[in-house]
Amino acid sequence: MESQAELPAITETEALVIKSFVPTREKVDAMVAANSELVFDYASRKGNKEARSHISNLRTLRADVERCRKQEKESALSYGRLVDSTAKSLTESVTGMIEVHAEPLKKIEDAEAARQDILNGLAANPAAMMSEISEIEAERDRISDMVIPDCAECEAAKKFRLEQLAEQVIAAQKRDDDAQELERLRNAEAERVEKAAEEKRLADEKAQAEADEKAQAERNRILREEAAAEAKAEAEAAAEEARLELIRAVEEAEQARVDAIAETERQRVAAEEEKEAAKAEAAEAFRKAEATAAEALKTANAETERLKKAEADRVERDRQAIETSNKIAAERKANFEANRKKLIKQAADELAAGFGWSAENALKAATSIADGKFPSIKLVTV
């Protein structure tokens, strides 16, 4: 079984846009369905009026689409401003809460640091530590050099004191070593804290920069989408306007063609009527001439020549009348052909300008329309 192509995912922004245009899209879809079933007799007065009313309704619907676009665009801009202001307010609120709890912690840390400075005063003052050791060693030397009479208890006391002093020297040296180790550890901890703080600061700055960049990218994307939607709407509106203008031009050209055909037909009927009148007049003249000739034959043979001449004159007049009538008809036909060619040329120019066709293709299309090959499209003069 062939796998079906997956539909592209719809973003939340696209979903909001689709939702906001639902009422307007329903109107447009309904109009599209109705429009496909509509057929107008553009040449008749009623059909022409109905077609223009329908176009007016379409223009109103197009204006509704534009109003919806402007309204939704303003909502998007307002939403962006609201996002920025809300984020700023929330950040200030969180920062305030951090400061509330950070301040007492800092006071405790400062107090602990002061206590450590007091406890480690010797480490901060090596000279004092060395003075204490020197004093103990001096006392030990002094007692060691003392001459003790033969007295077991005195000798034991001296020994005990020397042992105390020795222990004090060892304890003082240990305190000195501990103080130095504590100072080293304190410096190492300070360096660690400072390094951690710097790393945190850099991480926070990087995170904030990434967040700002992401927010700016989102704002730019929204702006691009808005610009693309606006350009698309403007292009579609321009295309629709051009299409309606073309329909209007075609309608007007068709009306002009109908008017031209009607005028040509009227002229043809008039010419036929004139021709029939001329024939009737000639027939009547012929009848009168025959009556006159018959009566003249009764009176004198000499009148025959005159009647022949009269008949010849009549025949010439009939010939001239027919020739004149044919000439008028030919001129009218020539005028009609000239008007037709002019109308075709005008339509071809408009098609070439409106659709970017070549002059040859536009002339062929206009000639086909004039020849009736496209019954639904007519050429009329403006």
Query: pLDDT tens digit string along 132-144?
Result: 667 777 776 776 6
Cα 374 to Cα 364: distance, rounded to the nearest angstrom = 12
Predicted pLDDT at 122: 43
Give the type of residue at 18: I
Confidence label for 9 from pLDDT (cuts 50, 70 and 90): low
Q: Which two tokens stand for residue 260?
A: 């031209």
**Which tens digits make up the pLDDT trace of 87-129?**
787 778 777 777 777 787 777 777 767 656 544 554 445 555 5
Q: What is the mean pLDDT of residues 345-367?
A: 87
When mean pLDDT is compared across 22-31, 146-155, 176-185, the lowest value belongs to 146-155
Rounded to 10 degrees, what is the CA torsion of 118, 122, 125, 126? -170
Predicted pLDDT at 119: 46
Predicted pLDDT at 65: 86
Cα 241 to chain centroid distance, Å, stands at: 19
Predicted pLDDT at 158: 64
Q: What is the mean pLDDT of residues 33-42?
A: 87
pLDDT of 14 above 70: no
Q: Which tops the pLDDT comparison, 11 or 339?
A: 339
Give the type of residue at 132: E
Predicted pLDDT at 188: 84
Cα 159 to Cα 153: distance, rounded to the nearest angstrom = 10
pLDDT of 205 above 60: yes
CB 305 within 8 A of CB 261: no
pLDDT of 313 above 70: yes
Rg (CA), the chain: 58
**How many Cα atoms sit within 13 Å of 371 on the Cβ side?**
7
pLDDT of 7 above 70: no
Cα 57 to Cα 52: distance, rounded to the nearest angstrom = 9
Cα 57 to Cα 51: distance, rounded to the nearest angstrom = 10
Cα 318 to Cα 259: distance, rounded to the nearest angstrom = 34
Cα 165 to Cα 120: distance, rounded to the nearest angstrom = 23
Q: Which two tokens stand for residue 41?
A: 């007799």
- Structural domain boundaries of the chain? 9-119
User: In the chain, what's the furthest Cα-to-Cα distance?
Assistant: 218
- Give the chain's mean pLDDT: 78
> Under DSSP, is residue 287 helix (H, G, I), strand (E, B) or coil?
helix
Predicted pLDDT at 174: 78
Q: Which tops the pLDDT comparison, 143 or 185?
A: 185
On whether the pTM is more than 0.75, the answer is: no
> Under DSSP, is residue 21 helix (H, G, I), strand (E, B) or coil?
coil
